[in-house]
Amino acid sequence: MLSHELIARYGVLIVFLNVFGSSLGLPLPAAPTLLMIGASMSLAAGDLSSTIGQCGVMLGAAVTGGALGDLVWFLCGKRYGARALCSACKLSVGRHACIAHMERFFGRYGVRILVIARFVPGLSFVSVPLCGATAIRWRPFVLHDCAGLGPWASVTLTTGAMFASQIDHTVPLLWRFCWQALGAIALALVLYAPFRYFRRVLRERARARSTAGARVINEPPAARLAAQTRCASPAIPTSHRLMRSRQHCEPAAVATATRRASLR
C-alpha cells in the first residue's frame, strides 16, 4: 500500500502520469492506481468524509491527464483519419471487426459515446480517434470527454476508499506472489503473439477461398467450360508434337523419293 507521505508528495503526479499514459495507449494500470490512491487516502485519514478534499485534487489530476491524452489521439484522428483508427485497433480482437463495431456505435450515439467509453475496456481508446476522423469539433469533444472522465475517476477513487481495508489485506498477497504473476503474464503474452499470427493467417486463407469461390460462381458458363476443358486436356510437350509431325511427314517424303528414282 502507498504511504501517506508518498501520496502527499507525488500522488497528483502519479495519478496524472498513469491516466495520461493509459490514454495514449501505454500499458499502465490507471484504474488500479486510482483504487490504491483512494484506499491509501482513506486509511491515512481514518474517515471517508475527511478524504473528500484530497480526492478532489486527485480527481482533477485524473481528468486533466485523461483529457490531454485523448486530445492527442483526437488530433491524430483529425489529421490522419483512417490510419490513426487502424493504429488504435491493432490491439483489438480484429481490426476490421473493431472498426465496423465502432462505426456502428458512433453512427447511433455520436459523440455522446465518450460519456460511457471509459467504463468499457478498449472503447475509449478507439472512439477518441474516430471522433477526430469524423470531423467532430474540439469543443464538444472536450466537453463529452471530461463528462466521461469525471464519473469514471470519481467512481474508481470512491471504490478504493470504501474498500480500503480489503485492499490493504490483498496488496501484501499480491506482493508475495508478484514474480509468479509476472511470469504467468509474460508466458501469456508470449503465447498470445503466435496465436494471433496463426489466426490471422487462417482468416486470410479462408477469405481467399471464399473470394475464389465467389469468382467461380459469378463466371459465365462458357468461360467456366473453357477453363474446365483446359484443365482436363493434358498439355502435349513440344518434343512429342515434333515426333508426331515427323511421323506424318515421313511417308510423304519417302513416296516422293521413290517416284523420282523410278523416273530416272
Q: Check pLDDT > 50 for residue 257.
A: no
Q: Residue 89's pLDDT is what?
A: 72
What's the whole-number mean pLDDT along residues 228-255? Answer: 47
CA distance readout (Å), 143 to 71, 102, 108, 139, 168: 12, 20, 19, 6, 36
Q: Check pLDDT > 50 for residue 109.
A: yes
Q: Check pLDDT > 50 for residue 159.
A: yes
Cell of 8: 502527499
Q: Residue 51's pLDDT is what?
A: 63
What's the whole-number mean pLDDT along residues 64-70? Answer: 94
Between 40 and 243, residue with greater pLDDT: 40
Residue whose grid cell is 467509453: 117
Count of C-beta atoms within a 10 Å radius of residue 111: 18
Percentage of the chain beyond pLDDT 70 is 69
Q: Check pLDDT > 70 for residue 260.
A: no
| Lowest-confidence segment of 90-104, 149-163, 247-261 by average pLDDT | 247-261
What's the whole-number mean pLDDT along residues 55-78? Answer: 91
Cell of 62: 485524473
Residue type, 49: S
Count of C-beta atoms within a 10 Å radius of residue 85: 25
Report the chain's mean pLDDT, rounded to a whole number: 75
Residue pair 117/172 in contact by the 8 Å Cβ criterion: no
Residue pair 124/114 in contact by the 8 Å Cβ criterion: yes
Cβ-count burial of 161 within 10 angstroms (0-12 exposed, 13-18 middle, 19+ buried)? buried
- Phi-psi domain of 20 (left: phi exceeds 0; alpha: psi -120 through 50; beta: other): alpha
190: helix, coil or strand? Answer: helix
Percentage of the chain beyond pLDDT 90 is 16
Cell of 216: 467461380
Q: Residue 46's pLDDT is what?
A: 56
pTM above 0.75, yes or no: no
